[in-house]
Structure 1
C-alpha cells in the first residue's frame, strides 16, 4: 500500500480535512493540520518550545486556539531508506481509529514537503524514563500505589491493543521512554512508529528486527518473527524496571554489563526476590503483592514465548484475578549481543545499517514522544 492510499484509508472515517487548529468539535475528531497552523501553535517551532528529540526528528509543545496544549512531532524523512515516512504511516494506522485511557491520543497530522507532522495531546509529566527512572530523587516521589496503578494502566492499554481491537496492534517497542504520564500520572502507551497490524487469522509477522536492546524478546531477535508475545516480553522487562527502579542494563568496570532480567532471575532462584524492590520505598509496600508483581514480570520474560501469558492474562494476574502462586517460572530469555545475533543470521539482507541504527544499548531518554 502506498502513502496516499494508506493515508486516505486511515482518515476516511475520522478526519476533518480543512479544519482549523481548534482541535475538532470533540476529542474524537482527527484533524489534518496545515504547516502554517502548526508553525503558529509552536511559535514558529521555537527552541524554547522544544520538549524532546530523537532519531526521526523533534517534538515541540504547542497550544491550539482553544487553549489545548499539544505536542507536535516533526518527522524528517530520509529519502533513501524512507525512515520517517514508515514511522509516520505506522502511527496513523495504529492510532487514527482507536481510543483508550492508557493510549496516547493522536489529534491529527500534517504533510508538508519531506516533513511529516503528528499532533498529540501534551503530557504534563513527560515519560516514565524521565519522571520515575531518571534519578533516585524522582523515584522517591513514586510510592507503591503509584507504581501499581501505572503498571495496571500499561497492562490495560496493551491488552486493549492485543485483544480488543481488530486487526490487533503490535507495538514492538515497549520501554520506559515510550510510556507517557498525564497530569494525573495516568500512563499512556506512546510512539507507535514501529508498530505493526496483525490480522486475527495469522499468528505472526516476519519483519526486520527493531526496538531497544534490553527489551527485545530473544526469539524475535533471532528469527524476526513478531507476535503479541514480543510485546509481552517488553512489558515484563518494564515491570521489573518500575518495581526495582533499576536500569534495564547497568555497566561497571569490574563486572561489565548487568541485565535486570538476569538479576531478577538469580534473586528468584535464591528465594530472595523481595530484594529487587526499589529501596527508596523503604518498607512502605505490601510484600505479598510486590512478590506477585515480580513473578508476573518473570513469567512475561520467559525464554519460551508460548509460556508467557497474554496481556489480558497478565493483567488478571496483576489484579489477583488469577493466582500465580502455583505457576512455575522458567528461565528468562535475554539478548545481550544483538549485533552478534544479526551477523550470525543467514539472511543478511535483513541486517541493513538502518536496522542496526534503530537499536539502543539502553532506554532512550531523549524524548517522551520518540
Structure 2
C-alpha cells in the first residue's frame, strides 16, 4: 500500500482540525446552556462538555448537536444566548418549564426546524429572533404571558416551510403583517388571547390554513371577515370575542369546515345557511352579534347551533320576515349592512320606529327613505323598486359606486331621488317628468355617453331646483369635455411662465429658432438620405418642411429647432410607414378623441401618433385640434411631452408626439391618489406636480430610503418646520431672498393641494389666484440669448403676454373670441370658507 501523499495528509489534518473546532464550538455552547439552567438537568455537567452528546435529552450527528429536548423538567433560569452558535441544531424543546429572561435569537440557524417553548415565564423576545430560519417548520411559544408587549415576528416571512405557528397568549399587540402568502404549507395558526388589532391580512386567503384561532383579542380585531371566503382549506375557525363587522361571507367552498365560532362580535346581515358548508359543519356559534333577517334554520347534521342576542326579525327559526322588511334589508345589503342600520332596524315592522324610514299616515307603507350624509359605501340596490309606495329617496353625500338601477324609473309613486355627491358611474336613467332627480354635484363619471340611455327624461330635474327640465345635463357632454381640455391646455401655458422662473436653466437646454432656409436644408438633406426626394412634400400640398422630424438628433434638447410657423406638417404616407400602416400591434392606448399608435422615424426617433376618429371631429373637434397644436408647439419643458408635428388628411386629424417610454403623468400621479376621477384628485395631482418641480424629485423614488421615497409624505414632514424648505429645493433653483419669498408661496400651495382631507384642498381657481401674482412680478434674472418662446415678456403682464402670443401665431380665433385673462380671472371663486390661511404642522400630519 502506498504511503499517503503530502497533500492528502494536509487535507486530512485540516479536516480533523475543522471537525475538532466545530465540536469544541458546540461544547462551549452546551456548557453555557448547562450553567443557565436551575437545577442543572440530570446527566448534564457545568464543568466539562466533552461528553455533551451523551447528556440526557441531547442528540448528536457526526459529533454535532442536532436536538435538545428538556420538556417538562421544572427548570428555571434562562436560555443562554450561546444557543445561536449551534449551527446544526434542528430541534429545541424546552416547553412546560419555568424559564425566564429573554428568548434568545435563533437568527440564521440554517438547519433549525422546530422550536417548542410553550408554558414558560419568558419576559421578552430578542429583536429579529427568528430571522433567516429558512428550514423552520414549527414555532410553538403558547402561554408565555409574562413577555413584554411585542409585535408578530414579520421576519418569519423567510420561513416559507412553516406548517405550525402557535403564539396564543404571548402578549402580541398591533396589526398582523400581510405576509401569509409566503406560507404555502401553513396549516395551523393560533394567535388567541393577545392584543392584536386591525383587520385580517388579505394574504390569509392565499394560505392553506386548516386551524385558525384568533379569538379573544383584548381590544379586538376589526373589519370584515371576507378573507375567510378564500380560505377553502379551513376546518376550524375561532373568531369569537373580537370586533368584526359586516356579513358572513360565502364559506360554502370550505368543504372541511366543521367548527365555526363567531359569537361576541359586531357582525351584521342575514345569516343564510346556503353560504355555509352544511355537509361538514357540526358546530356554529352566532350569539351576541347584530345579525338581521329571519332566524336561521339548520339541518339536523349541524349538531350545535347557538344564536341568541341578535336582531333577527322573528324568534322562531325558519319563520319569514315581512316583505317590506326584507326589501329594506336588501337595501342595507347593498351598503354592506352598516352597523348603524343593524342597531336601529330591528323587529318585523319597518314602520315600527325604524330610523331613517318614514311611513304613511296609516303606518303601513314606507314613503321616505333618508340614507343621505352617512358616508355609506357600496351600491344602490335595485330592490328599492319593490317599495312601491316610496315617494322620496335620499342617498346623497355618501361614497356609493356602481350604477343607478333602471328599475327605479318604474316606481309609480316616486317624486324625488337625490344621489348627488357620490361616485356613481354608467348611464343616467330617464325618469318621468314628475320625478325630481338630483345627481350633481359629484358623480363626475355619471352619464358620459351620448344617447337616450345616458340622458335624463324630458321632464327630469338634474339640479336641485324645482320645475321643468333644466337641460343642463341633457345631450352629449362632449362640448363640456372639450372645454375642459382647452382650459387645461391654456392653464399649462400659464404654468410655463411660473415654471420658467423656478426650473428652466441652462442644464435643461434651450430651444432656439432657425430660419426657414436653414430648416429647409436639413429637411431636403434628410429626405435625400432616405431616398424619398421631394415625393413626400408633393404628397401633401407641396409643403417642404415636414422632414424636420427626420433630422438627425443627438438627444440634446439644444439641437432641436422650431420652425417660424410653430408647427410641422407631416404627410399621411410617412405616418403610415412609421406606424406599420396603423397596425393593431402598434396601439399604445385609446382616448376620448381616438387611438394612439407607436411609431419609429427613419433616424430611430420613437413617436406616439394620435389618430383622431372622424366621428369625434366637427367644428368643436377642429377647435380642439387647432388649440392643441397652437399650445403644444409653444410649450417646451423637460417634464412635458413635445408635439413634433401634425397631419390633416381628408376628415382625419393626426398629432405626432415624442414617445413617453415610462408612461404618462397619470400613471405616476395615481399611485398616490385614490384613482377616483374627481376635481379634488385633480387638485391633489397638481400639488404633486408642484412638489416635483420645487424639489426636482420624482413622486415615487424606490432608490431612496423608505422614509424619503414617497415625495408627498416626505414633503409634509419638511413643511412642519419651514426652515427646512431651502434644504429641500432643487439645486438648480435660485435661492436669493426674493426668489425664496415666491418659492414659499408655491410650497404652501403644494401643501394645501395635497391635504389628506379632500375637503381641505382648494379648487384650481384658488391655485391660479396664488400663482397669478407671482407671474405678474416675474422678471428674468439676467438677459440671455433666450427669447422666452419668441415673446418678450420683460415689460409685459401675463394677460399682455398671452394676447401677444396669440397674435403672433394667429391663434386668437381658435377660442372664438371668448377667452381672455380678465374673464378667466373674474370667474375664479375665492378661497373656500374654512380653508386655512397658512400651512402649519397640523396640516402636515
State the TM bucket, normalised to the shorter chain.
Answer: 0.3 to 0.5
The normalised TM-score by structure 2 is 0.20
Higher relative contact order (CA 8 A, sep 6+): 1
